[in-house]
Chains A and B, each alone.
Chain A
Amino acid sequence: MLSVSHLTKKVSTYNGELIILNDINFEVEPGESVAIVGASGSGKSTLLSLMAGLDLPSSGSVDISQQRITDLAEDQRAEFRANNVGFIFQSFHLLTTLTALENVALPLELKQGKSAQDEAKKLLEQVGLGDRLTHYPNQMSGGEQQRVAIARAFAAKPKILFADEPTGNLDTKTGQHIADLLFELNQSQGTTLIMVTHDLKLAGRCQRQIELSAGQVKNNDKPTESNEDFKESVNA
């Protein structure tokens, strides 16, 4: 499904060259859920952006469904994203000028080129916001906004979903709810999920964890026999 090989990202700064990611390699199976964990500044978000084709690496490659996205031009990557990729962000990033319904419908409409209000409505009902369709983001709480964002992420039925600290801006309880919702939808749609988080508990709910440290993969857990076991080990 997703294959990252020899991925390196360097940037030049005032103090010379900075290596953010250094020779990252791993693979993700279809339908798998993977957590990328690590301390703040370890390069998680950078890795995510490279995998999603938001940015290009200094060297190395990313393949999604046999498509080498690191070879694509910018607009081709955009088209690829429209058809295959969904996002959930730490700070929700809803379009403040659109209603909840319009926000959810947008990616689907971008993909199909026609109105997708019905599907959007169904999804919003699934995330429990069936009565908030015409509300604007600034009329909703953080948790509600993130639920809209989740509905939006699944709306276009992406093959792969990237989430960057999806619960980072929420209190523990709301975060829990959001995570439940996320995994529920992920399960039912069979989407591949790649989630960046520094919340180990949340990471534990994924099938596998990749730990980044100083731009390198420190620990790449093979899928455990039983998800429950892993959860226990984390919680312990």
Chain B
Amino acid sequence: MLSVSLAWKLFWRDWKSGELRVLIFALWIAVGGLTAVTLLVDRIDRGMTKEASQVLGADRIVSGPRPINDSIKKTATDLGLSISNNLWFSTVAVAGEEFELSSIRAVDNFFPLAGELEIGDKAFAEGKITQGAPESGNVWVSPRLLNLLNIENSGQIQIGIKQFKVNGLIIKEPGGSSFFNFSPTIIMNLQDVPATEVVQPGSRLNYRLAVSGEESALIDFDEAIKPELDNSQRLLGATSGAPQLGSALGRAKNYLNLSGVLGLLLGGIAIAIAANRYANRHFDHSALLRCMGLKKNQVLFTFCWVLLMAGFSGSLLGGITGYFINELLVMSLADLLPEQVPPPNFDTFLVNLVAGLTVLLGFALPALIRIRSVQPMRILRKDLDPMSLSGWFTIGTAVFTLGVVLYWYAKNLTLVLAVILGGGLLTLICLMLSAGFLWLAHKATKNSSIAIKFGVEHLRRHRSASLIQITAFGLTLTLIATILLVRNELIEDWQAQLPEKAPNHFMVNIRPEEVEPLTQLFAEKNVTASDVFPMVRGRVVELNGKDPKEYLGEGSRGHNSLRRELNLTWSDTFPEANSLVEGEWQMEPSAQPVISIEDRMAERLQLKLGDTMTFSVGSDRITATINSIRKIEWDSFQPNFYVIFNRGSLDQLPATYITSFYLSPEEKPLLNNMVQQFPTVSVIELDLILTEVRKVLEKASLAVEIVLVFVVLAGLAVLFATTRATLDEKLYESALLKTLGANKAFVRKTTLVEYWVLGVLSGGLAAVASEGLAYVLYEQVFKMSAQFHWWLWLGAPLIGLLLIVPAGTLGNRQVFSLPPVAILNKG
């Protein structure tokens, strides 16, 4: 405990004298950035989970073909969770002559546990938010069903053997806006199900127990019931995927996390340098304490405590700053985030605090070890420096610490290794480039004035410090430049790449008899539309006559197409956005089924020309031979199909039709005409989605930019740390110069030349690195042709100068202001 109280005194004094300032600043920035990022990402995640539960209609759903065990319901209620019992099945709804296959949701009075159920009495009009089931004997139905069955609201429909009165239209149901929801929905009271006599042995039923409540209770619930579920039962919602806009946010999240990591790394470097200087300046303290009888480890602990106190203050400041920045980010992202962002999580806050302290100790460890190894003899013989540690040890502990912290956040060893290896490689390249640049600067300034040579020489004399500065700052600028490059061009190029009048609307659920009038309408109104494709839905059941799992063997990832129903079409020729890879363009109409499949699917499913695929469509099984393999431009906004049949082979199956078309904003009112004329089709307004996506991109990059400020500050922390590390020597040198008669301006110039050179070199490094990165990103990831950005080569060094020179002036102000005697006397 004594070392704690001693440490406290040491800390307090060092704090006041500014000894620990750089260290605290570095930690402040690193933890601040990290906190802002992690709080935000955590809130986005939880927000998206909440939104997912709106879609799901509950936080969790236990679903299965047989009634859910009472024990599961009991577990839920015991945990204080609310539950709702639902039964889903498909059956035919009848009204007079008309009938339609419908999705029935039989619900109890607790439905829905999450999300909105909106019931109204006119289609496309606003309804009333409703809770609970329709009264016994009544049903609510999709507006579309009225058209399909040719009845009015308050009309009668028959389900099974029971008559129901329609007394509401479903305007909005939880998760009800899914694009390809083919059959109309009917919501009925669970109590009425037996009376319909639809539920018979062998009927396909989906029993669903909806569960909602506190997150912690939900986690307990997941744990408790997982062992109880049998093969046919599933637990939904625990890690359900993000909704549509998730991927843009997801990418922003990656950027944010990357910025957080870079901030932490730069902060760590600054900490290592500052801690090393701190240790150097406290070797005498250590020796003295040892003379007075402190043991090696007591000295170590004392200084550990000092650092921890500094670390705690820095991390705490960082945490608080990060919190406010996170609020700022949430505001800037407001439109994108789920409507109700959950409050920040206090645990995340603590985790970051601990992470800050861990990074501090890890990066300062070499300095601490040196302080511990000071010999007490040093007190009598000044020249006895403690052993210096090998650079590898220093780098090793730093990388290890960073790895531990990253793993803590990512919980994914491969990812951590990849980040460390990739980051290490990039750093190594940057270090080598920096060394080259420094050498060039030396050559280039050979015949310059003495002040300039003095500055460059100073950089060369402190080679490792200079290389670290150039690299740290170069990387910071690289990140900024890359994000600017990619962001601008990604948004612009993507828009540029869409052809004029690219389809911006999809229309699905077109009935065969509507195809003619629809094409006529398009022609009349001069609307550019793609072909109209028939569509039936089917599932892949066999590959070359074998079960897909068996055919592909263990360990194969298979393909999406095995996991869901596919949209199958038939045609004589291929859609525009397709190009032939192998086989025949032409598909002869015939009753003998032949198919053309997408190239990546073929690869994944290990299929080649002449192989066969078997599909189950409704109650039919169809086996077809592969006749050609196509490549598809998926972002062409045309209807695209994995599998295209020849004409004649699917004709006997009930199909709906799909098309896409272009409407300018002025033509939008045409949509009303279409909906009136074809009330059962569904229109997907892609233009709205596109605007949304662009908005997401813009907002997300704004968030990234805010976080970049932290990265820049962390880079500055490195600069301050290195400046401080050579400050004593600079002070001494400048005092000597002044005594020898150099004027203030000369001293100023020699001191600052160094920062001019640093600024230009790190800017140059950033230009090289970001141009290179952008090249790789464009060629490899975006598959666009890369361009040369001349402004980068001017801008990056300029920004480097603008950031570094003022910082250098600030860091060296003592060099300019202190009179020489004050300095020389000290030595």
Contacts and interface: CB of A to CB of B under 8 A. Distances in A.
A161 interface: no
Contact of A110 (B292, B376, B377, B380): B292
Contacts of A49: 377, 380
Nearest to B10: A97
Contacts, number: 75
Nearest to A97: B13
Contacts of B295: 74-75, 78-79
A109 B2 contact: yes
Contacts of B17: 97
B379 A106 contact: no
Nearest to A114: B2
Contacts of A75: 295-297
Interface stretch (B283-291, B458-466, B639-647): B283-291
A55 B375 contact: yes
The B interface is mostly helix, strand or loop, or mixed, namely: helix
Interface stretch (A61-69, A81-89, A220-228): A81-89
A74 B294 CA distance: 10
A82 B299 CA distance: 13
A98 B10 contact: yes
A218 interface: no
Given A95-B288, A110-B2, A45 B380 contact: yes
A97 B296 contact: no
A80 B380 CA distance: 19
B783 interface: no
A82 B293 contact: yes
B10 A80 contact: no
A45 B294 CA distance: 21
A211 interface: no
B377 A55 contact: yes
A98 B5 CA distance: 12
B10 A93 contact: no
A144 interface: no
Nearest to B293: A82
A82 B2 CA distance: 14
Contacts of B9: 97-98, 102
Contacts of B10: 95, 97-98
Interface string A83-123: 10101010001011110001000110111010000000000
Given A54-B377, A98-B10, A110 B293 contact: yes
Given A82-B292, A97-B13, A106-B6, A89 B285 contact: no
B14 interface: yes
B293 A48 contact: no
B292 A106 contact: yes
Given A98-B10, A98-B13, A78 B377 contact: no
A83 B295 CA distance: 13
A177 B9 CA distance: 31
A113 B6 CA distance: 11
A133 B14 CA distance: 19
Given A54-B376, A54-B379, A74 B296 contact: yes
Interface in B344-376: 375-376
Contacts of B297: 75
Given A55-B375, A97-B17, A113-B2, A48 B290 contact: no
A111 B293 contact: yes
A167 to B, nearest CB: 16
A79 B297 CA distance: 12
B525 interface: no
B480 to A, nearest CB: 39
Interface residues of A, number: 31
Contacts of A54: 291, 375-377, 379-380
B563 interface: no
Contacts of A78: 290, 293-296, 376
A9 to B, nearest CB: 11
A225 to B, nearest CB: 34
Nearest to B284: A93
Contacts of B14: 97
Interface in B1-33: 1-2, 5-6, 9-10, 13-14, 17
Interface in B277-311: 284-285, 288, 290-297
B443 interface: no
Contacts of A83: 293
Interface string B317-328: 000000000000
Contacts of B288: 93, 95
A93 B2 contact: no
Given A55-B375, A80-B293, A45 B381 contact: yes
A82 B375 CA distance: 16
Contacts of B294: 78, 82, 110
Interface string A191-222: 00000000000000000000000000000000
B2 A95 contact: no
Given A81-B291, A95-B285, A95-B288, A89 B296 contact: no
Interface string A137-178: 000000000000000000000000000100000000000000
Contact of A79 (B1, B13, B293): B293
Nearest to A164: B380
B818 to A, nearest CB: 15
Contacts of B375: 54-55
A218 to B, nearest CB: 22
A97 B380 contact: no
Most B C-beta atoms less than 10 A away, residue of A74, A87, A97, A107 = A97
Contacts of B380: 45, 48-49, 54, 89, 164
A89 B381 CA distance: 11
Nearest to B382: A91
Interface in A10-61: 45, 48-49, 52, 54-55
A87 B293 contact: no
Contacts of A85: 293
Contact of A97 (B5, B285, B293): B285
Nearest to B291: A87
Contacts of B13: 96-98, 136
Interface in B676-716: none
B293 A107 contact: yes
Nearest to B826: A138
Contacts of A106: 6, 292
Given A52-B291, A54-B375, A55-B377, 7 more contacts: A55-B375, A79-B293, A81-B291, A81-B293, A89-B380, A95-B285, A107-B292
6 contacts: A45-B380, A54-B380, A81-B292, A82-B294, A113-B2, A164-B380
The 9 A-B pairs of least Cβ separation, nearest first, read A82-B293, A97-B13, A81-B293, A75-B295, A54-B376, A78-B295, A107-B292, A55-B377, A45-B380
